[in-house]
Chains A and B, each alone.
Chain A
Amino acid sequence: MRQKYLMKGNEALAEAAIRAHCRHFFGYPITPQTEVAAYMAKRMPKIGGTYLQAESEVAAINMVLGAAAAGARAMTSSSSPGISLKTEGISYIAASDLPALIINVMRGGPGLGGIQPSQSDYWQATKAPGHGDAQLLVYAPSSVQEMVDLVIRAFETGEKYRMPAMLLADGMLGQMMEPVSFPDEIAPPQPKPWALTGTGEKRKPNIVNSLYLTPAQLEEIVRKRFERYEIVKQNEVLWDGYRLEDAEYMVVAYGATARICKAAVEIAREMGVKAGLFRPVTLWPYPEKQLADCAKRMSRILCVEMSMGQMVDDVRLAVNGCCPVSFYGRTGGIVPTPDEVAQQIAEMAAVGK
């Protein structure tokens, strides 16, 4: 049996990255993700890695760009307002076809907002992580163990497709403690022949660039990138279902909210409502086909988020009118309770009858 530890989500993110051979972390403190940076600050110097607290979020993300261009497995982490500052750099990283890991431990917004959990950066992560035509791989864990597993996967998948990945957590996941274990061995990164490692006068120089002043050339490059995105959509979708086999009413939720909804499904079942849970694990690529398939068997769908309703857009697009989709959300740092969500499920079922 693997050794288990009791870890905070934020610490687990950092430890998982280290075990996944990440040796370059550039960050800037912000609640509720500060422990990621604090943990890296303690561990990186002991294992010959680089921990650097940059002068700002903008500097940190550009250090990630530089390290990634040089072939390093690099990462940064922040929380909502800090991620907004990083978006310029994220767009440059995506445009340079560089793999890197960006962690967002979401808090209430907009603006400085609050420091309690939220999921109101869904649109930002999946639709507009920066300017221009670009996507990020977006992973949404719902337990501390899954934070570990998805950090490893995010690095590997990002490098496979040469694109940045975001791990979208929230303050609840970042701060809560659960038992975790780590894989015994994680494969080291594959060689990166495109990296800027010096030619040694033995090959032509590699170039990492995001500036193309000829429209035709830029269009060609963006089109090629989108062809790659199509392959990602085919291969990299992850999702999870709970009690969907005989369900008539489906709740769709991700992250910490999915944990609450799982408890709510149990309560609703005790109330006699056949409820189930669909949990997207990748938010981009979104499990649209899988969601559409499940929706065919449902009377009604309820999307629950810690926001005013963002992922619900993607749920409606995937369901495409085959059954009614309603929304329930709390925002500003309020975490919905299982009873509150169960009540919503019961009301949805009452309307459906």
Chain B
Amino acid sequence: MLQLNEQLNRPVVVITGHYGCGKTSFALSLAEYLTGMGKSPSLVDLDIVNPYFRSFDYRQQLKGCGIQMEGPVYAGMNLDIPALPAHIDGMIETADLQHPVILDVGGDDAGAAALGRYHPILQRQETAGRLTVLGIVSFLRPLTETPETAVQVLSAIQTAARLQCTGVVNATNLGSATDARVVLESVDKARQTAQMMALPVVSTVMLPDVWQQMSSEEKKQIPFPFVLSRRVMLPWEDGKL
């Protein structure tokens, strides 16, 4: 966890990546992880692209864990308007290590465009060494199957967001069909992606049962494992999957 913890030594954490790579699951779990460290994080749902399966849907659950949740004004209200509340600016400015802010950004460069509005504020955070930008990758998504295409997508996001990533998170998965092989096969691709961008791989994300499947030899091959619980569920799933 060393690499990830180092990244979390900055109070503003931006989570970006290709559409459907697992950003929301990671953001939700990261908020919980920070709570476990005795911090009081806030999670901001900046997804103005996709009205389905978003972190804002989990606000009640998070509230129960002591995590403050913010999102577009009309999120969860069936209204397709990308309006972001003004006080998100203040949350970013006043964040500190005890009260970190996680920004869950929409997929691709289209989603990252929402960060453009916060550019002056985020640039100040960057200059002050207060900003972490994590690029999430998943190599079992159709348009990011290779390190080259993953770099293309992350570069497009960086351009749209006018921010540079500080670390790569490997979240390669097949949903409930993920097994140890899926994760192990992605390790090299994540390393190459990070190398091409001159960044570290700061964590490898997986579900608890996948981690348990691995032998101790295999576990050693995984750079900085981050075991998270599955949160984004379909209506017919009972939570045991």
Whether A32 pairs with B52 at a CB distance below 8 angstroms is yes
State which of B78, B110, B141, B174 has its C-beta within 8 Å of the C-beta of A116. B78
A179-B174, A259-B236 known; A6-B141 Cβ under 8 A:
yes
A151 to chain B, nearest CB (A): 15
B173 within 8 A of A: yes
Secondary structure dominating the interface of A: mixed
Within 8 A of A (CB), among B133-181: 138, 140-143, 145, 173-175, 177
Within 8 A of B (CB), among A250-272: 256, 259-260, 262-263
Q: Could you list which residues of chain B lie within 8 angstroms of chain A, going by C-beta atoms? A: 19-20, 50-53, 78, 80, 110, 138, 140-143, 145, 173-175, 177, 234-236, 238
| Docked complex Cα distance between A116 and B175 (Å) | 22
| Docked complex Cα distance between A5 and B19 (Å) | 13
| Docked complex Cα distance between A38 and B109 (Å) | 12
A62 to chain B, nearest CB (A): 26
Whether A42 pairs with B143 at a CB distance below 8 angstroms is yes
State which of A39, A179, A256, A333 has its C-beta within 8 Å of the C-beta of B177. A179
Closest to B108 in A: A38
A32-B52, A116-B78 known; A259-B140 Cβ under 8 A:
no
Give the 6 A-B CB pairs with smallest separation, nearest first. Answer: A175-B52, A263-B236, A114-B78, A179-B174, A179-B177, A259-B236
State which of B51, B141, B234, B238 has its C-beta within 8 Å of the C-beta of A32. B51
| Docked complex Cα distance between A42 and B234 (Å) | 27
| Docked complex Cα distance between A178 and B20 (Å) | 11
A263-292 interface code vs B (CB 8 A; 1 in, 0 out): 100000000000000000000000000000
Whether A333 pairs with B78 at a CB distance below 8 angstroms is yes
Whether A5 pairs with B175 at a CB distance below 8 angstroms is no
Whether A260 pairs with B80 at a CB distance below 8 angstroms is no
Whether B235 pairs with A177 at a CB distance below 8 angstroms is no
- 8 CB contacts below 8 A, A to B, read A6-B173, A11-B142, A31-B80, A115-B51, A172-B234, A262-B236, A333-B78, A338-B236
State which of B52, B140, B235 has its C-beta within 8 Å of the C-beta of A5. B140
A176 within 8 A of B: yes
| Docked complex Cα distance between A336 and B80 (Å) | 22
Whether A4 pairs with B140 at a CB distance below 8 angstroms is yes
Q: Which residues of B are found within 8 Å of A116, using beta-carbon distances? A: 51-52, 78
Within 8 A of B (CB), among A310-353: 333, 335-338
Whether B78 pairs with A6 at a CB distance below 8 angstroms is no
A35 to chain B, nearest CB (A): 8
A1-32 interface code vs B (CB 8 A; 1 in, 0 out): 00011111001000100000000000000011
Q: Which residues of A are found within 8 Å of B175, using beta-carbon distances? A: 6, 177-179
The range of chain A's interface size is 20 to 34
Within 8 A of B (CB), among A170-187: 171-172, 175-179
Whether A4 pairs with B78 at a CB distance below 8 angstroms is no
A5-B142, A32-B51, A177-B20 known; A263-B173 Cβ under 8 A:
no
Q: Could you list which residues of chain A lie within 8 angstroms of chain B, going by C-beta atoms? A: 4-8, 11, 15, 31-32, 35, 38-39, 42, 108, 114-116, 171-172, 175-179, 256, 259-260, 262-263, 333, 335-338
Whether A4 pairs with B177 at a CB distance below 8 angstroms is yes
Whether B142 pairs with A176 at a CB distance below 8 angstroms is no
A42-B143, A114-B78, A115-B80 known; A175-B50 Cβ under 8 A:
yes
| Docked complex Cα distance between A114 and B80 (Å) | 9
Closest to B77 in A: A114
| Docked complex Cα distance between A256 and B235 (Å) | 9
State which of B140, B173, B236 has its C-beta within 8 Å of the C-beta of A260. B236
State which of B78, B142, B174, B235 has its C-beta within 8 Å of the C-beta of A335. B235
Q: Which residues of B are found within 8 Å of A256, using beta-carbon distances? A: 235
| Docked complex Cα distance between A335 and B234 (Å) | 10
Whether B143 pairs with A115 at a CB distance below 8 angstroms is no
| Docked complex Cα distance between A42 and B152 (Å) | 13
Whether B141 pairs with A115 at a CB distance below 8 angstroms is no
Whether A7 pairs with B236 at a CB distance below 8 angstroms is no
Q: Which residues of B are found within 8 Å of A7, using beta-carbon distances? A: 20, 141-142
Beyond A4-B177, A172-B52, A338-B235, 12 additional contacts (C-beta under 8 Å) are A5-B145, A5-B174, A7-B142, A11-B20, A15-B142, A31-B51, A35-B19, A39-B143, A116-B78, A177-B20, A179-B175, A260-B236
Chain A CB within 10 A, most for which of B110, B138, B140, B145:
B140
| Docked complex Cα distance between A262 and B235 (Å) | 12
B72 to chain A, nearest CB (A): 13
Q: Which residues of B are found within 8 Å of A171, using beta-carbon distances? A: 52
Q: Which residues of B are found within 8 Å of A172, using beta-carbon distances? A: 52, 234-235
